[in-house]
Amino acid sequence: MGVQIDVQGLSKSFGRQTIWQDVSMTLPAGELSVLLGPSGTGKSVFLKCLVGLLRPEHGRIMVNGVDLCRCTESERYQLRKLFGVLFQDGALFGSITVYDNIAFPLREHTRRTEAEIRRVVHDKMELVGLAGAEHKLPGEISGGMRKRAGLARALVGDPEIILCDEPDSGLDPVRTAYLSQLLVDLNAQIDATILIVTHNISVARTVPDNLGMLYRRRLVGFGPREILLTSEEPVIAQFLGGHRHGPIGMSEEKDAVLAAAEGTWTRTLPEIVPQLEPSPGLPVRQAVRRRQERVRAMLAVGSVPR
Ligand SMILES: Nc1ncnc2c1ncn2[C@@H]1O[C@H](COP(=O)(O)OP(=O)(O)O)[C@@H](O)[C@H]1O
Ligand SMILES: [Mg+2]
C-alpha cells in the first residue's frame, strides 16, 4: 500500500518571486490525486519540492514521519527511493533504446545483474502496455508510447509514490483517455499513492479520488472529488467547466483586476462525471474501500478541507 504524504504550510519562492505560499494538503495512501493549475502556477516546482530536488523556504513535507524539508542527506536518500517520477517531457535519452532508458536507473543505482534487470524491465513494460518496443529509439515511437516508457522507468524501483508531471501534455484527447485509464489500472495493480499535475480538465474529472487547484500563488481547495467537482468556489467551477466567464482571465495580470469584481459570476456547477474504473479483469482498487468512511464523514459535516 502506498505512503501518505502530508504537506503543511509549504511556500516556495525564487529570489523575490513567490511561486506559491501556504500550501497544505494530504495525499492519502494509495489514492489518486490531481493537482490542477493554469500554466506557470508552479505545478512542476511543487513536484520537485516533493521529491527533494527543490527546497521550499517554509513548511513541512511529512513522509513516513520524516520532514523532507529538514531531514539529513541519508534520510533524504532513503525517502527518495519511495518515489517514482514521470517528468513532463518524458525525459528519455534520445540516443539509447527504450529498453536501455528503462533499465537506466537500475544500472545506475543498484547492483542488480543484467538478468535481473531484464526481468524487471520487461515486467514494467508489460505493466504500461509497451511490450515489443524494447529495441526502438524514443524518436521512433509515438508521444503516447514515450509517456509509457517514462512511466515504466519511474516504476523500476517499485515506488510507493508516483508523481506525474502533465502526463497528458502533447497528447490528443484519445491518447489522453488511454493514459488516464492506464494510471487508474496501475493504481489498481500496485496500490501506490499517485499525484498527477495537469491542466487537463478531463483528467481532473475522471481520474482522481482527490482534486486540488493552484491559482494565483495559493492552493484553492483540495479534497475528495465528490466535494471539489461540485465546488461553488468560482475559480474551481470556472476551471473545471472550462468557461470564459469567471475570475480567471486571459492572463495573470488581468486576473487581479477580475478578482476585484468577485461575486458577480454566475456559478454554473460542473456535473459530476463517473470516475474511471479499472479495466475488466483487474483487481478492485484498494483505495476505494479505504476512503469510503473518510469521505462519508466529510460529506456529513459539509466541510471543504484545505
Ligand atoms: N529553478 C528555477 N529558478 C527560478 N525560477 C524558476 C525555477 N523553476 C521554475 N521557476 C519559475 O517558477 C514558475 C512556475 O514554474 P512551473 O512550476 O514550471 O509552472 P507549471 O509547471 O505550473 O507550468 C515560473 O515562473 C518559472 O519561471
Ligand atoms: Mg510544468
Cβ–ligand 1 distance for 16 under 6 Å, the answer no
pLDDT value at position 85? 95
Q: What is the pLDDT of residues 62-76, one digit of tens each?
A: 999 999 999 999 999
- Does the pLDDT value for residue 262 go beyond 60? no
Domain with residue 30: its CATH number is: 3.40.50.300
Give the confidence band of 270 by pLDDT, cuts at 50, 70, 90.
Answer: low
Asked if residue 25 belongs to a domain, the reply is yes
3-state helix, strand, coil in the chain (%, to 5): 40, 20, 40
Asked if residue 43 has its Cβ within 6 Å of ligand 1, the reply is yes
Q: What is the pTM of this model?
A: 0.90
The whole-angstrom separation of Cα 259 and Cα 86 is: 34
pLDDT of res. 263? 53
Contact 186, 276 (CB under 8 A): no
For 229, the grid coordinates are 467537482
**Among 14, 36, 39, 220, which is best to mutate for testing ligand 1, by the most ligand atoms less than 8 A from CB?**
14
- Position 153 scores a pLDDT of 96
pLDDT grade for 234, boundaries at 50, 70 and 90: confident
Q: What is the 45 CA–ligand 1 centroid distance (Å)?
A: 6
State the pLDDT at residue 137.
95
Which pLDDT value is given to residue 129? Answer: 93
Look at residue 291 and tell me if it is in a domain.
yes
- Closest by CA position to 91, among listed 133, 49, 44, 130: 44
Identify the bridge partners of residue 62 per DSSP, sorted by sequence position. 6, 67
pLDDT tens by residue, 120-175: 999 999 999 998 899 999 999 998 999 999 999 999 999 999 999 999 998 999 99
User: Quick one: cell of 141?
Assistant: 515511437
Residue 267 is predicted with a pLDDT of 53
Whether 42 is in a domain gets the answer: yes
Residue 272 has a pLDDT of 80
At 229, is the pLDDT very low, low, confident or very high (cuts 50, 70, 90)? confident
Strand partners, 17: 14
Q: Domain limits at 178?
A: 5-82+159-237+270-301
If you average pLDDT over every residue of the chain, what do you get?
88
Residue recorded with cell 485509464: 181
The residue type at 190: I
- Pocket flag, ligand 1, residue 42 (CB < 6 Å): yes
Let me know if residue 48 belongs to a domain: yes
Ligand 1 pocket test: which of 45, 51, 165, 239 has the largest number of ligand atoms within 8 Å of its C-beta? 45
User: Which range has the worst mean pLDDT, 37-46, 56-65, 88-97?
Assistant: 88-97
Question: What's the pLDDT score for residue 23?
Answer: 97
Number of domains in the chain: 1
Residue 249 located in a structural domain: no
User: For residue 9, how far is the Cα from the chain centroid?
Assistant: 19
Query: Is the beta carbon of 18 within 6 A of some atom in ligand 1?
Result: no
Is 78 among the domain residues? Answer: yes
The DSSP secondary-structure symbol of 16 reads T
Q: Residue 88 C-alpha to ligand 2 middle, in angstroms?
A: 7
Report yes or no on 146 lying in a domain: no
Contact 199, 211 (CB under 8 A): no
Does residue 16 have a pLDDT over 60? Answer: yes
Look at residue 53 and tell me if it is in a domain: yes
pLDDT value of position 120: 97
Q: Which residue has the cell 484519445?
A: 174
Check pocket membership of 213 for ligand 1, CB cut-off 6 A: no
